[in-house]
């Protein structure tokens, strides 16, 4: 190294780069390290020629080059100017609002691919996030400043020790279903919710708040919506064909029970109405029971365990979506108004002891593990028969067995008897979801003032949501399922 090179090297070593550490590795190599970028200054000597200086900056998370150039070291002032330009880039990274997220697994291989997927999604949505992937032991040893640490499912059980290693970061386990499917959008949405970052809502068509404001502007699609509803003495299968929101055709079938073949018949016989299946962009089916990726996972109905999406898609060559009907109804309640940001729909048939609940919380439909969110039929209704509610009731029952029999045979048809049970079911929802409003679809209880008084026995009045009785549950299902379909079609198009 000549005298000019030594002077430039010493100047770099003495210069302070904000937020970075400068290390002179040897006479020819200097490293400027920022928490998310690495800068390098390398000197190359040649006989009878000026030294060549290499300036490079690399983003650690992605490996992407952010700055790279070579120049002959002949003018010291020019060399300092070029270095300052590189340094300013690194310093700007220190002052940026980039959210750094670390992904950890056993050896770092699978999370590296997942980090790439997250980076791709964040870049598409113009979100300022950087994702780094490391083996868990390496991450604990090296440390670093991160807003969040996301753990692959195989190391999720080590969450506590990771939280101790990164006390300033939110530490969360990526759900196995999200990780296995490389669902970058789902993981990013979950992460942003925990970080309190709502910027995704402004650009994400999967957020119902965005859809609610632009539903009428959704792309024109011809969609078929099929609604299956249980009645006290049977079931109805109703269908409507829409061009966006214009109703083209509709009909209804009444049966004692419903199986997959009944839904297939509805589609197969559309030609009687001069409807060509090739003109239909998608089919949405709203059914009773928990639904997980098209499969009914919990129901006392004839559709239990059937992947309706797959069956209908393979039979008719159509794009099919399947949802729980209470969830569809809750979305219908949500998108039909602009006052409430979180709503629950409680729906219950006369003659039944337990209802179903769909909830939209902060613009997102709650589905839960395997679609079980709000599926109250998973509860034993007997747990609601507590002494506080019924000790003073004159039911003519002298034993617990007689009380159960009375409710199964008679009380489920009485609004007075079912009022405290409904209030108990709503208390559970309020405690978990705390919606702004609860819509009630239950013919036995239509007095919302009486229901509020019942709830006020256990809750302060200011914690009780607005209570709204509805009689157009079927309309809410059609509107909600239509909205969910347009949401999915819009998202896939983007």
Q: What is the pLDDT of residue 392?
A: 44
Token pair of 458 as six digits: 């256990």
Residues 256-262 have a mean pLDDT of 87
Tens digits of per-residue pLDDT, 266-315? 999 998 888 999 999 999 999 998 998 889 888 757 788 899 999 999 99
Query: Under CATH, which number does the domain 214-325 receive?
Result: 3.30.420.40
Class of the domain covering 328-475? alpha beta
More confident call, 211 vs 442: 442
**How does the average pLDDT of the chain come out, rounded?**
83
Burial class (CB in 10 A: 0-12, 13-18, 19+), 213: exposed
Q: What is the pLDDT of residue 215?
A: 54
Q: Which of 317, 292, 315 is nearest to 305 (CA)?
A: 292
The number of beta carbons lying within 10 Å of the beta carbon of residue 283 is 27
DSSP 376: G
pLDDT at 239 over 90: yes
SS (H, E, C) 308-367: HHHHHHHHHCCCEEEEEHHHHHHHHHHHCCCCCCCEEEEECCCCCCCCEEEEEECCEECC
Q: How confident is the model at residue 62 (pLDDT cuts 50, 70, 90)?
A: low
> What single string gives the DSSP state of each residue in 354-423?
--EEEEEETTEE---GGG-TT-GGGS-GGGG--HHHHTT------SHHHHHHHHHHTGGG-HHHHHHHHH
Q: What is the pLDDT of residue 204?
A: 46
The helix or strand, by DSSP H or E, that contains position 86, with its residue range, turns out to be: helix 76-95
150 bridge partner residues: 103, 172
pLDDT at 81 over 90: no
Tens digits of per-residue pLDDT, 147-159? 889 998 888 888 8
Q: Is the dihedral of CA 9, 13, 18, 21 positive or negative?
A: positive
pLDDT at 386 over 60: no
Residues 21-25 have a mean pLDDT of 90
Cα 35 to Cα 431: distance, rounded to the nearest angstrom: 42
Q: What is the pLDDT of residue 447?
A: 93
More confident call, 412 vs 260: 260
Token pair of 32 as six digits: 């400027």
Q: What is the pLDDT of residue 116?
A: 86
Q: What is the pLDDT of residue 203?
A: 44
Q: Which phi and psi (to 5°) does residue 107 adopt?
A: -120, -5
Q: Which phi and psi (to 5°) does residue 358 adopt?
A: -115, 140
Contact (CB, 8 A) for 325 and 471: no
Q: How confident is the model at residue 353 (pLDDT cuts 50, 70, 90)?
A: confident
Residues 474-482 have a mean pLDDT of 91
Residues 31-60 have a mean pLDDT of 84
More confident call, 343 vs 395: 343
pLDDT at 206 over 60: no
Tens digits of per-residue pLDDT, 95-114? 556 788 999 988 877 888 88
pLDDT at 349 over 90: no
Cα 76 to Cα 53: distance, rounded to the nearest angstrom: 11
Q: What is the pLDDT of residue 334?
A: 92
Q: What is the pLDDT of residue 119?
A: 86
pLDDT at 121 over 90: no
Burial class (CB in 10 A: 0-12, 13-18, 19+), 480: buried
Fold of 99-204: Rossmann fold (3.40.50)
């Amino acid at each position: 190294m000549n005298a000019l090179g030594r002077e430039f090297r010493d100047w770099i070593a003495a210069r302070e780069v904000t937020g970075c550490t400068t290390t002179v590795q040897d006479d020819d190599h200097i490293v400027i390290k920022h928490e998310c970028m690495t800068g390098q200054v390398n000197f190359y000597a040649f006989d009878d020629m000026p030294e060549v200086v290499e300036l490079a900056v690399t983003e650690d998370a992605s490996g992407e080059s952010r700055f790279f150039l070579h120049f002959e070291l002949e003018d010291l002032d020019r060399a300092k100017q070029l270095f300052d330009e590189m340094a300013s880039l690194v310093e700007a990274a220190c002052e940026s609002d980039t959210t750094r997220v670390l992904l950890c697994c056993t050896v770092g291989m699978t999370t590296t691919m997942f980090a790439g997927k997250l980076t791709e999604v964040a870049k598409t949505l113009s979100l300022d996030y950087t994702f780094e992937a490391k083996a868990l032991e390496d991450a604990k040893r090296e440390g670093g400043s991160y807003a969040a640490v996301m753990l692959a499912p195989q190391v999720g059980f080590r969450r506590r020790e990771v939280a101790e290693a990164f006390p300033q970061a939110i530490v969360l386990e990526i759900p196995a279903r999200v990780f296995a499917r490389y669902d970058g959008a789902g993981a990013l949405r979950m992460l942003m919710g925990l970080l309190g970052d709502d910027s995704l809502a402004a650009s994400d068509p999967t957020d119902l708040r965005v859809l609610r404001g632009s539903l009428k502007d959704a792309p024109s699609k011809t969609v078929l919506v099929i609604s299956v509803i249980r009645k006290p003495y049977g079931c109805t299968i109703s269908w409507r064909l829409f061009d966006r929101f214009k109703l083209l055709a509709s009909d209804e079938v009444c049966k004692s029970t419903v199986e997959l073949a009944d839904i297939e018949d509805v589609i197969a016989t559309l030609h009687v109405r001069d409807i060509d299946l090739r003109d239909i962009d998608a089919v949405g089916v709203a059914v009773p029971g928990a639904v997980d990726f098209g499969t009914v996972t919990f129901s006392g109905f004839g559709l239990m365990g059937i992947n309706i999406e797959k069956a209908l898609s393979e039979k008719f060559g159509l794009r099919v979506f399947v949802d729980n009907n209470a969830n569809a109804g809750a979305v219908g309640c949500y998108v039909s108004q602009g006052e409430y940001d979180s709503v629950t729909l409680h729906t219950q048939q006369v003659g039944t002891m337990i209802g179903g609940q769909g909830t939209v919380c902060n613009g997102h439909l709650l589905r839960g593990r395997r679609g079980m969110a709000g599926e109250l039929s998973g509860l034993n209704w007997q747990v609601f028969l507590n002494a506080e509610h019924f000790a003073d009731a004159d039911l003519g029952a002298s034993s617990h067995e007689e009380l159960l029999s009375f409710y199964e045979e008679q009380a489920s048809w009485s609004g007075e008897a079912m009022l405290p049970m409904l209030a108990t079911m709503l208390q559970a929802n309020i405690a978990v979801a705390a919606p702004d409003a609860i819509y009630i679809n239950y013919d036995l209880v239509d007095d919302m003032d009486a229901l509020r008084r019942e709830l006020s026995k256990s809750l302060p009045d200011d914690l009780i949501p607005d209570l709204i009785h509805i009689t157009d549950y079927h309309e809410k299902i059609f509107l909600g399922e239509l909205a969910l379909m347009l949401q999915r079609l819009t998202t896939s198009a983007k």
